[in-house]
Amino acid sequence: MAAHVNVGRRLVALVLALAVCLSCAVAARVGGPEERQWLKVRRHLKRVNKPPVKSIKSPDGDIIDCVHVAHQPAFDHPLLMNHTIQTRPNFHPEGLYDDNKVALKKKTPSEAQLWHQNGRCPEDTVPIRRTTRADVLRASSVKRYGRKKHKSIPNPLSVEPDLLNENGHQHAIAYVEGDKYYGAKATINVWQPSIQQTNEFSLSQLWILGGSFGEDLNSIEAGWQVSPDLYGDNNTRLFSYWTSDAYQATGCYNLLCSGFIQVNNEIAMGASIYPISNYDGSQYDISILVWKDPTEGNWWMQFGKDYVLGYWPSFLFSYLADSASMIEWGGEVVNSEPDGEHTSTGMGSGHFPEEGYSKASYFRNIQIVDGSNNLRPPTGVGAFTEQSNCYDVQNGNNGEWGQHFYYGGPGRNSNCP
C-alpha cells in the first residue's frame, strides 16, 4: 500500500514539474514586457492593414494599399457586418459654390495627393495608408493609437476659457450655433506649419458638433493636419475624425478603426497633400464639404469638386443622428509647454491674420447646409481664441470670398512668452 502511495506522489510531482516546465517554455516564448508589447502591435497591424489588391509606394515614403471596398476596416464594426454599401449620396446640397468663378492672383486649386505620382488604385478598391509598427509605437498605447485626447474640442460658449487649455489644446476659430445644421463647407488655405515637439500637432479643419460639451459630445471633423506623432513626419495631410462620446472610447482618425465607409478609389485619408502654399508666394487651397443625406441619414464627405469620399453611418451617433447644433471652422494646435514656455508650433501659416493674403492662412466661402438641404452663408458668425497674442482670428465678408476669415499665428513670441 505504501509503495502505491509513493508511486502516486512521484507521478503527481512529475506532472507538476512538467507543468512548471511548460509554463516556463510559454513564458520564454512570450518573453518580457517588450515582447508582449510587440505581440499586441503585431495583432493590431494585422487588424488594421487589410490585404491589398495592389500597393503603391509614395515619394514621401508612405505605402498606399488598394483594398477591396468590401474589405476595408469599416466593416469590422459589428453593426456593419451585413451592411449594403451606399455607393453614392441620394442628394447633394443645393447651391454648391462654384470655385471656378473666383479668380485670385497666384491661386491654383490643390486637390492632388503626393502618391498619385506613382500610380492609382483600380475600381472597386479604396486607397488606405498602410500603418507601420513605428506608427503604433509612437502612440501612448496600442489602444489609444489613432485617437485624439479627451476634451480637445474648442468650446466658444465656455465662460471659463482657461479650462479649455487644460490639455494644452489651443484654437482660433469661427463658429455658428443656435440652429439645426445638416452640414458645412469651406475652402481652406493649405500650409505646412512648423511643429516644435513631436507630440504636438497643428491642424485646420471644420467641426460638425452635436450634444453638449460633456461626455456625450458628437463630432465629425475634416481638414488638413501636420502631426509627427501620428504619421512620423511633418507632411501636411488630409484627415478626418469622428467621435460619439467626446473622444473617450469611440472614433478615430481616417480609417484607423471601424466606422467611416470609403467609396472613392482616388483619395487616401491621411495621405500627403501636394502642393502647399508659400509665404508671399503661390497659394493653394482645398475645399471640404460634409453633409447629411436627407434620405439615408448618413453623413457624407466630399473633397474638392470631384471626390465624394464616403460616409459615416448615422447609427454611429446619438445627437448627430438627427442634426448638428454647432459648426466650427478654424485651427487647433497642441501646446505641450516645455520648460514653462509657450510652444513655437505654428497655426495656419504661422503668421497672424492681419498680414493678409499670401502671408496669413484663410478659410473662405464658409457655408452651412440648412434643413432644406441648401448650402448658404452662415449668419451670426462668432470668433473665438484662448490667447489672441499667440493665435488669432479675424472674420470678414465680401462678394468674392463670401463669409471668410484669416487665422493663426506663430505661438511663442514677444507677446506670447
Q: What is the pLDDT of residues 325-339, one digit of tens each?
A: 999 999 999 998 767
Q: Which of 394, 382, 404, 363 is nearest to 175 (CA)?
A: 382
Tell me how far apart the alpha carbons of residues 410 and 307 are, in angstroms, rounded to a whole number. Answer: 33
Q: Which of 60, 90, 330, 85 is nearest to 222 (CA)?
A: 330
φ, ψ (nearest 5 deg) of residue 65: -90, 130
pLDDT at site 37: 84
Task: Give me 193's grid cell.
Answer: 506649419
Question: Which regions in the chain score pLDDT beneath 70?
Answer: 1-31, 96-111, 150-152, 159-167, 338
Tell me how far apart the alpha carbons of residues 279 and 249 are, in angstroms, rounded to a whole number. Answer: 39
pLDDT at site 151: 61
**Helix, strand, coil percent values for the chain (each to nearest 5):** 20, 35, 45
pLDDT at site 167: 59
Beta bridge partners of 290: 184, 301
Reported as a single tens digit per residue, the pLDDT across 72-125 is 999 999 999 889 999 999 999 998 654 444 333 333 444 589 999 999 999 999
E strands present in 141-293: 169-181, 183-189, 202-210, 218-226, 237-243, 261-262, 273-274, 283-292
Q: How many CB atoms lie within 10 A of CB 10?
A: 10
pLDDT at site 206: 98
Helices of type H across 89-172: 133-137
pLDDT at site 197: 93
What residues act catalytically? 221, 332
Residue whose C-alpha cell is 489651443: 170
Reported as a single tens digit per residue, the pLDDT across 249-284 is 999 999 999 999 999 999 999 999 999 999 999 999
Give all strands of the β-sheet with 169-181 in edge-to-edge order.
Answer: 237-243, 218-226, 202-210, 324-334, 169-181, 382-385
pLDDT at site 217: 94
Q: Which residues of 260-284 are buried (b: 16+ CB within 10 A; e: fewer)?
A: bbbbbbbbbbbbbbbebbeeeeebb
Task: Give me 296's grid cell.
Answer: 439615408
pLDDT at site 10: 58
Task: Give me 301's grid cell.
Answer: 464627405
CA distances from 3 to 7, 8, 9, 396 (A): 6, 9, 10, 98
Task: Give me 190's grid cell.
Answer: 493649405
Rounded to 5°, the CA angle 154-383-333 comes to 40
Q: Where are the domains of the chain?
A: 2-30, 36-408
Tell me how far apart the alpha carbons of residues 204 and 218 are, in angstroms, rounded to a whole number. Answer: 19
| H or E stretch at 9 | helix 2-30
DSSP code string of 254-298: TTSSSS-EE--SS--TTPBEES---TTS-EEEEEEEEEE-TTT-P
pLDDT at site 164: 45
Q: Which residues of 293-303 are buried (b: 16+ CB within 10 A; e: fewer)?
A: beeeebbbbbb
pLDDT at site 318: 96
